[in-house]
Structure 1
Amino acid sequence: MSFDTQDPIPVTVLTGFLGSGKTTLLNRLVRQPAMSNALVVINEFGDIGLDHRLVAQSDENSVVEMSSGCLCCTIRGDLSRTVQKTFDAIERAGGEPFSRVIIETTGLADPAPILHTLMTDYWLAHRLVLDGVICLVDAASGISTLNAHRESQRQAAVADRLLITKGDLVDEERLARLGEHLARINPAAEQVQVRHGQIAAEQLTGGSLSARQRGAEQWLSAASYAQVMPAGGAAPMNAGSLVSMMAPASRPSLTRHGEQIRSFCFTVEQPIAAERLEDWLDLLMSLLGEKILRVKAIVNVAGREQPLALHGVQHIFHPPEPLPVEACQDGISRFVFITNGVEPEAVTRLFDYFQPVQAT
């Protein structure tokens, strides 16, 4: 069967800071039946790569290396080329299509540009579908790493599941503090303790499948996030206050790198006009796109019977996905944001900026 004719192949992005245990985990995973016939793409930094030599291979698994630089920076095109070449080679040899792709990032990588590539590269987007972002966090050094390194915070912020490694090296109190710290960064992400890389592959799959595939309520996890003022509850904005609202916050940074990770949810009770939704998102992403780490929403659009699921990373959105009517039975639209240095009020008041003018 050709790769071009099969259903989209699920992709797991495996991230985590230096020394968090990604290679150990991969070695355990590739030996499991659920990961048979998987393609593992390992990004290595520097001219001489070693990590790909440390991952076990079998007749069913293919492990390929990218060593031309950091996957989050200038070589995103290499991801597409590497996967294409590997797929073509397997197809020419008459092999079976891959059942899954695992992309391991370097410990210094921000995963968001990788997600961009999966969403926007024409070849990849028509053959692969994001299944989940898995982030490993070292229990022994996790809090200090999160406080000191912006990449570590971003890795945790966009994850669907957080794997806590090396928990046997710390006491329960320290583990609990790390869990609370991670919950402040990403309250909806499931936290799982892993020892010596031992975890069932099934626990790492299905993390970010579409709202239709996974179930809208579970996919959105809106109840996990802090609820902010519903849209329409703030004073109207004019152009001047809009510019002021978009200015950088004057409050002190939460870390020495200036990261201010926010996660929140807000709701809109009335159906939203499609034009208003599009204008709001266009302006929001053009002004703050790099600071919007991830967006998920289930939206009740005026004039449509079916609600829509939206999923965006920074300034890029997946095509809207129609959902069953029961996914939004109460008619309330719910938006979940994970941002860097963006106050919730900036998002909600920008939505109110497009509020239809009321006749007097």
Structure 2
Amino acid sequence: MRTGLQSRLSAPEFVLLTGSLGSGKTTLLCDYLSLPESADIGVIVNEAGEINVDGAVVSSGRRDLPMTLLGNGCVCCSCGDDLHAAIDELLALRRQSGAGEFRRIVLETSGLAMPGPILRSLMRYNRAEYRLRIISTLDAANPETDDVTFPIRSAQLTAARSIVVTKLDRVSVDDIASAESVARQFNPAAGVIATVDRLARTRAAFAPTELEARAIASQFHAIVATDHSRLGVFLAEWPAAVPWRDLCDWLEDLAGLCGDRLLRVKGLVSVGGVARPILIDGVGTTFAEPSWVEAAPSTGRGIVIIARDVDLDELTSISGGYSAEVRPTLKITSKRAA
């Protein structure tokens, strides 16, 4: 599923719909399926339990809906073969119908799913090309997290390109504002969708905006960082253009050090010998194919790192073996990029 920039922009979209248990993923998907613009999509539903309730709910509204089910437990815990088989089955159903290619495939994950392993599985799928987009739901009535749910919820929210605040009809205006604040604390890079009108909110969730399309060449822009005690936001900056091989080595060291504590990596870096900066974009330890992008000289350079239970000294330690010319400066930031 890894392609060049132009191929990604023209390919169908694969939407990973994630969010905690009971946060409204199935309702959001059903609302989308009720809209005429959902005519050319396929759906994969992953239910961690033995009874696929979500699949039954989703299919009940659209008898013509091309859909496959992943019922063998949470998709992020498998080796990926089940997901590949589900995609193959969905594409086979579409070919048999003679309806042409899907415009979009939506995978609704279990509320227990971590995005990173799913992305790694999708990147190994080579029988079709897709642009990948992650949407996460956040329950306005229950936006906070505890120590038990924090690792999963933080991974889901920081991976998202769009965070959809749900159940707005059940809460006050102040509660909605609080939920939006929580979303931005976890992921200032994401678009937060908290439109009160339910169908307008659904359309916004599944239709990328012009602002989102431009985000590929942007940094996080002076957004106040999280104050969550377990979530750290760091900025890595290089004093000059860095050799590409050294940058790759450093990113590998970063992923190896943090493991599943690494939640999000995104930014622009100037690479030696190349006029245009490179976009680095990672969810967990899985990185998208690097893309050379057009960016004004005034656009900031550096990589923002969002990590769980990682401190500055630990991050700084990975740069000890690099020369001063290619060693990044690492700092905790209260303002950050995306």
Give the TM-score category using the shorter length: 0.7 to 0.9
| Aligned-residue offset at 1:106 | 0.9
**Structure 1 equivalent of residue 123 of structure 2:** 119
**Helix, strand or coil for the counterpart of 2:310?**
coil
1:90 corresponds, among 94, 117, 120, to: 94
| Aligned-residue offset at 1:34 | 2.3
Gaps of 5+ in 1: 228-252, 255-259
**1:313 and 2:283 matched:** yes
Q: Deviations over 1:221-267 (max 9, x none)?
A: 3433649xxxxxxxxxxxxxxxxxxxxxxxxx95xxxxx22234343
- Gap change, CA 1:127 and 1:193, over 3 Å in 2: same
| Aligned-residue offset at 1:195 | 5.2
- Gap change, CA 1:285 and 1:261, over 3 Å in 2: same
Q: Deviations over 1:191-239 (max 9, x none)?
A: 2225585335541246599x9x535444x43433649xxxxxxxxxxxx
**Structure 1 equivalent of residue 62 of structure 2:** 57
**1:160 and 2:130 matched:** no
2:45 corresponds, among 28, 42, 49, to: 42
- Gap change, CA 1:26 and 1:195, over 3 Å in 2: farther
- RMSD, aligned CA: 3.0
| Aligned-residue offset at 1:304 | 1.1
Gaps of 5+ in 2: 1-6, 327-338
The 2-side partners of 1:112 and 1:225 are apart by 25
The 2-side partners of 1:141 and 1:200 are apart by 18
Q: Deviations over 1:43-67 (max 9, x none)?
A: 01222212111112254x3122111
2:304 corresponds, among 316, 333, 336, to: 336
The 1-side partners of 2:139 and 2:91 are apart by 34
2:28 corresponds, among 25, 29, 35, to: 25
Please list, as runs of the form range in 1=range in 2, the aligned pairs for 1:141-290 lying within 5 A after superposition: 141-143=142-144, 145=145, 148-150=148-150, 151-193=152-194, 197-199=198-200, 201-205=202-206, 214-218=214-218, 220-224=219-223, 226=225, 254=229, 260-290=230-260
**Structure 1 equivalent of residue 130 of structure 2:** 128
Q: Deviations over 1:1-45 (max 9, x none)?
A: xxxx99522111111112211111111101223222101111012
Asked if 2 retains the 8 angstrom alpha-carbon contact of 1:226 and 1:264, the reply is no
- Gap change, CA 1:337 and 1:103, over 3 Å in 2: same
Asked if 2 retains the 8 angstrom alpha-carbon contact of 1:166 and 1:194, the reply is no
The 1-side partners of 2:209 and 2:237 are apart by 21
The 1-side partners of 2:185 and 2:299 are apart by 29
Q: Supply the AA of the counterpart residue of 2:156.
A: Q
Q: Supply the AA of the counterpart residue of 2:89.
A: K
- Gap change, CA 1:290 and 1:353, over 3 Å in 2: same
The 1-side partners of 2:172 and 2:33 are apart by 30
Q: Supply the AA of the counterpart residue of 1:154.
A: A
Larger Rg: 1
Asked if 1 retains the 8 angstrom alpha-carbon contact of 2:17 and 2:25, the reply is yes
The 2-side partners of 1:22 and 1:43 are apart by 11
Query: Percent identity of the aligned residues?
Result: 27
**Structure 1 equivalent of residue 106 of structure 2:** 102
User: Paired residues, what number?
Assistant: 314
- Gap change, CA 1:302 and 1:336, over 3 Å in 2: same
Q: Supply the AA of the counterpart residue of 2:49.
A: G
**1:354 and 2:314 matched:** no
Q: Supply the AA of the counterpart residue of 1:127.
A: E
- Gap change, CA 1:222 and 1:336, over 3 Å in 2: farther
**1:68 and 2:68 matched:** no
